[in-house]
Structure 1
Amino acid sequence: MCRSDVRQAVLAKNDDLAASLRGDLARQGVTLVNLLSSPGSGKTELLGRVLARAVERGVPVAALTADLATENDAVRLARSGAPVQQLLTDGLCHLEARQVRARLAGWLPGDTSVLFVENVGNLVCPAAYDLGETLRVVLMAVTEGEDKPLKYPTAFGSAHLVVITKTDLAGPAGFDESLFHENVHQVNPGVEIVRSCARTGSGVGTLLDRALAARDGVPPHRPPLAPHPHVHHPDSAPVA
């Protein structure tokens, strides 16, 4: 079997596991929100604000945060008061449905209605892996450049929601928001784009509201998943 066939088989196996996990979570009344971004986008800080807002509103949420090493992000997110668990990938550049299912076993609080999964900081490999999410959110800081959606069309093209972070730095960064919108809609026509700033709290309520809408059955905009153009060999899950 050639490498391309192996890769497609691994992705197909992951898709089956993700569909099963999505069904199991739905029966438990849990909606999974998958957060993707590059490292340094401000994803953890924004998620911490969202979790804190949910706790204030009495919304039963939880978070699973993934990283190659350290539990720093879990410690930061736990300050929100929400249940949080760390998932260490031991060098793997993305999460897979099998890892999420295994980490949730015996841990996820029974009253959870929204589970936020903070994926590994990477816009390539994570975009190809369905985690059983109902809502996929792709975040990008204003410092990353307006052409990022064109460079990473799989990630942006598969998003239900795109979030611009660190908008307080838009001026100093010379960020052209209109051009960014054009580029996003070139790869994902009609997708909603939300502005946010963890420092001021802007966009926090909107992100939580979109997660709750997904929980309550409001269908998000969802194009078919774009092709998987990356060539990373997923040797973590060998095919039987």
Structure 2
Amino acid sequence: MESHGVDSIHYGAGLAGVHAPGLSQERIIKIERDILSKNDAYARENRHRLAANGNFALNFVSSPGSGKTSLLVRAIEDLKARREIVVIEGDQQTSNDAERIRATGARALQINTGKGCHLDAHMVGHAIDTLAPEKNALLFIENVGNLVCPSAFDLGEAHKVVVLSVTEGEDKPLKYPDMFAAADLMLLNKADLLPHLDFDVGACMAAALTVNPDLQTLVVSARSGEGMQAFYAWIEARAARMAIAE
């Protein structure tokens, strides 16, 4: 389907880039609550639209360098024969990741947030309008690389998937608990590097489960393909469950 010739959307800093030294703590909290309330309303609209069209959406979150884009490229290459996959790419600048996604043949829309540190549901709603995913298509949302801000913003996705690489510390879930608490699945990526690193997989998973006892975890490698079939099975099972619920 056509995307109306639009391949990227640019946003300014928004409140994420604003400093207000004259505001009281109470006023700041009220502003934050208002922002989240409006975002949640847009997220509900997105979720309803996606469900009505049979679109299963995943919001991929991580710190920069976790390998999210490489993981999505691998997943698209492996799954594109089964159903359409469309991608919303979030970055502060450049369209590099969207171009990598398009090289697989998948349609992708780049959202540049400027100084903003996360995608929000309003941005994603406009992107869905532009991409107009086919019925029963998968929607992958690659959020801005950040383990803090995206945790608070519902985009209308079915699940948040947090990607953590073995080149990061195994205590990341304890340092950034809100993100791991908000996620339903953790993908421990770059498993092919484990023989060369001093990384304790068990300790990392234990830390994640301390924060979120319901968090499911998979060890994967976008490069070697290790664990990816288990991830695809997880997607298919959750997508089927969503279809039955609707």
What interval of TM-score do these two structures reach, taking the shorter chain for normalisation?
Answer: 0.7 to 0.9
State the Cα deviation string for residues 82-130 of structure 1 (Å, max 9, x = none): 2212111122100000000012213223235210000000010001100
Q: Secondary structure of the residue that 1:105 maps to in structure 2?
A: helix
Matches within 5 A, 1:60-209: 60-209=84-233
Structure 2 residue 52 is the aligned partner of structure 1 residue 27? yes
Query: CA contact under 8 A between 2:84 and 2:134: conserved in structure 1?
Result: no
1:181 Cα deviation after fit: 1.1
Please, which moves more after superposition, 17-26 or 37-46? 17-26
- The answer as to whether partners of 1:135 and 1:211 remain within 8 angstroms in 2 is no
Residues 169-228 of structure 1 show CA distances to partners (whole Å, capped at 9, x for unaligned) of 123220001111110110010321101111111222222322222221169xxxxxxxxx
Q: Which amino acid aligns with 2:169?
A: G
Q: Which has the larger radius of gyration?
A: 2
Q: Which moved more, 1:95-104 or 1:200-209?
A: 200-209
Name the CA distance, whole Å, in 2 between partners of 1:10 and 1:148: 27
Is 1:10 the counterpart of 2:35? The answer is yes
Structure 1 stretches (4+) deviating beyond 3 angstroms?
none
Count of equivalent residues? 218
Query: Do structure 1's residue 36 and structure 2's residue 61 form an aligned pair?
Result: yes
Q: Name the CA distance, whole Å, in 2 between partners of 1:95 and 1:157.
A: 18
> What is the CA-CA distance between 1:26 and the residue it aligns to?
0.5
* Corresponding residue for residue 53 of structure 1: 78
Query: Which shows bigger deviation, 83-92 or 160-169?
Result: 83-92
Q: Give ranges in structure 2 of 5+ residues lacking alignment.
A: 1-25
Please give the alpha-carbon distance, in whole angstroms, between the structure 2 residues aligned to 1:129 and 1:190: 20
Q: Is the 8 A contact 1:162 1:191 kept in 2?
A: yes
| 1:42 to 1:61, Cα distance in 2 relative to 1, 3 A | same
CA RMSD, Structure 1 to Structure 2 (Å) = 1.5
Q: Deviations over 1:59-88 (max 9, x none)?
A: 221111111111100111112222212111
Question: Is the contact made by 1:164 and 1:195 (CA closer than 8 Å) also made in structure 2?
Answer: yes
TM-score (norm 1): 0.87
Distance of 1:80 and 1:205 partners within structure 2: 19
Equivalent-residue separation in structure 1 for 2:113 and 2:230 (angstroms): 30
CA distance in structure 2 between the aligned counterparts of 1:61 and 1:208, rounded to whole angstroms = 13
- CA–CA distance in structure 1, aligned partners of residues 121 and 31 of structure 2: 17
Residue 178 of structure 2 aligns to a residue whose secondary structure is: helix
2-structure distance, mates of 1:31, 1:171 = 35
TM value normalised by structure 2: 0.84
CA contact (8 A) 1:51 1:80 kept: yes
Amino-acid identity (%): 38
Residue 240 of structure 2 corresponds to 216
**Structure 1 gap segments, 5+ residues each:** 220-240
Q: Verify the 8 A CA contact 2:163 2:186 in the aligned structure 1.
A: yes
Q: Distance in 2 between matches of 1:109 and 1:161?
A: 24
